[in-house]
């Protein structure tokens, strides 16, 4: 009887350990809900894989939508990779376009209830983060 109980406990512990490992793998690899990125087949650079609807962006910010789509990745490593692969001139142009409108972007982001940004708003938030990240280097 003790042998059966011991085997059952070991089996339960093993199953629990496997479940924990699987959850950690999912969390660490970014598989799950949230901002998903993929690599572009030709360049290998991260690209947005979540839907993006320009109509959900205020009209006065829509001209920045392509920048938010390209640069506004929720993945820290993806943003870092974009910064590293960009030229100094490209980063300066990005800063020149985004920084003067950071207050307006923030006003729009603040209009959303807590933790409920649309994909588009999240891209703009991450765009601001990216500009801040390379501006502080």
Beta-bridge mates of residue 26:
none
Write out the H or E segment, with its range, that includes residue 117.
none
The token duo for 89 is 């001139």
User: Cβ distance 62 to 54 under 8 Å?
Assistant: yes
Q: Distance between CA atoms of 41 and 44, rounded to whole angstroms? A: 6
Helix (H, G, I), strand (E, B) or coil at 72: coil
Is-contact 102 128, C-beta < 8 A?
yes
pLDDT in tens, the chain (137 residues): 444 444 445 555 666 555 565 444 444 443 333 444 444 434 555 555 467 899 999 999 999 999 999 999 998 898 889 999 999 999 999 999 999 999 999 999 999 998 899 999 999 999 999 999 888 76
Closest alpha carbon to 70 in 133, 130, 30: 130
């Amino acid at each position: 009887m003790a042998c059966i109980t011991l085997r059952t406990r070991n089996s339960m512990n093993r199953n629990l350990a496997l479940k924990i490992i699987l959850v950690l793998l999912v969390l660490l690899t970014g598989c799950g809900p949230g901002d998903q990125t993929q690599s572009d087949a030709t360049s290998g650079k991260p690209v947005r894989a979540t839907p993006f609807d320009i109509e959900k962006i205020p009209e006065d910010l829509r001209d920045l939508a392509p920048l938010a789509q390209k640069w506004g990745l929720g993945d820290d490593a993806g943003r870092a990779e974009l910064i590293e692969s960009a030229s100094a001139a490209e980063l300066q142009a990005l800063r020149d376009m985004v920084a003067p409108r950071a207050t307006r972007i923030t006003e729009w982001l603040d209009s959303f209830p807590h933790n409920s940004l649309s994909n588009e708003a999240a891209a703009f938030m991450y765009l601001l983060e990216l500009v801040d990240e390379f501006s502080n280097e």
